[in-house]
Amino acid sequence: MGAVECFELSGNELVPRPTVATTLNDLSLELPDGVYTSLRTYPGARVLHLDAHFDRLVASALLEGVPLSLDTGALRGAIAATLASAGFPLARMRVTVCLSPKIRIYVAAEQLHELPEEVYRSGVSCGIADRSLKRALPRSKSTRFIGPGAGARRTAPAANEVLLVSEKGEILEGSSSNFFSVLDGVLRTAEDGVLAGTTRATVLDVADGLLPIERRPVLVEDVARLQEAFVTSVGRAVLPVIAIGERSIGDGVPGPFTKELRLRFNRALEADLEPIVGSRAW
């Protein structure tokens, strides 16, 4: 069992892809440019909304100018087989579709280390990225952004995430997450110019009826007035943010809406988890 287990899905065959990478991001930098989706597994080899991840791969490839047709049955089987081969109790997994010079599909896994519950009780801080950091195609989950995004996070080592800001000063998203805030009793999250995360979609569903929702960003200058904030991603789920840069959010502790949304998300998670299925002998 290595730090990263990787296979290429070639037709009906799953071929080991040797790598010295110690993380999925390192692996992505070894592969040709393409599009990808990241997911995590839960006990019992279950996943959340796997078809939504496949849909995002197809949509991202189309934005890159490449029509893509996926054999989702074979891909589910490849994910299950990769997970079994890796042997991790819980895994963070990545499906990468390299688009040039020809379409090639890779499935990889690394061990998932969940954040301690104390982190969710206390919250985390976020930094602000340089405004030059942006996705060339915001709706495309392209591997080209992995290197710059990781570089931005290294500039703020004490922060859990760095937030991307538009030229107008709008807080768009995290370098590997979506960003939400509560301002004047309204849940705000950017809609345009951001990657539509699968966890974000579930949060918007469960937030319905809890408080008003506006799909537009807040400004950096609004940070001092924010009542609450949190980021969402496959690995972090709903993670409270208690500071952005040098400014505290609200009372400097996770707020009641964030706590309730996390509870609702976890309930939805338990209801919607599915087996990877389609596993086969390769």
CATH of the domain at 173: 3.20.10.10
Q: 26: domain range?
A: 4-113
**Cα 95 to Cα 68: distance, rounded to the nearest angstrom:** 14
276 part of a folded domain = no
147 part of a folded domain = yes
Largest Cα–Cα distance in the chain?
56
Backbone angles phi, psi at 266, to 5 degrees: -65, -35
pLDDT tens-digit series, residues 118-133: 999 999 999 999 999 9
Residues 6+ positions from 277 with CB-CB distance below 8 Å: 76, 80
Same-domain status, 15 and 88: yes
Indicate if the pLDDT at residue 280 is higher than 80.
no
**Which pLDDT belongs to residue 158?**
80
Same-domain status, 167 and 44: no
What is the band of 11 on the pLDDT scale with cuts at 50, 70, 90? confident
Beta strand 171-174 pairing with 177-183? antiparallel
pTM of the model: 0.95
Walk across the sheet containing 4-10 and list its strands.
13-16, 4-10, 104-111, 91-98, 34-40
43 C-beta neighbours (distance < 10 Å), count = 8
pLDDT tens-digit series, residues 96-112: 999 988 999 999 999 99
Handedness of CA 243, 248, 250, 254 (dihedral sign): positive
Looking at residues 10-31, what average pLDDT do you find? 95
What is the band of 281 on the pLDDT scale with cuts at 50, 70, 90? very low
Do 201 and 52 meet the contact criterion of CB atoms below 8 Å apart? yes
Burial class, 256, CB count within 10 angstroms (exposed 0-12 / middle 13-18 / buried 19+): exposed
Q: Which residue has the higher pLDDT, 279 or 110?
A: 110
CA distances from 121 to 158, 176, 211, 226, 240 (A): 18, 21, 22, 19, 8
**Which pLDDT belongs to residue 1?**
52
pLDDT tens-digit series, residues 173-200: 999 999 999 999 999 999 999 999 999 9
Same-domain status, 125 and 262: yes
Same-domain status, 56 and 99: yes
pLDDT tens-digit series, residues 205-224: 999 999 999 999 999 999 99
Same-domain status, 259 and 212: yes
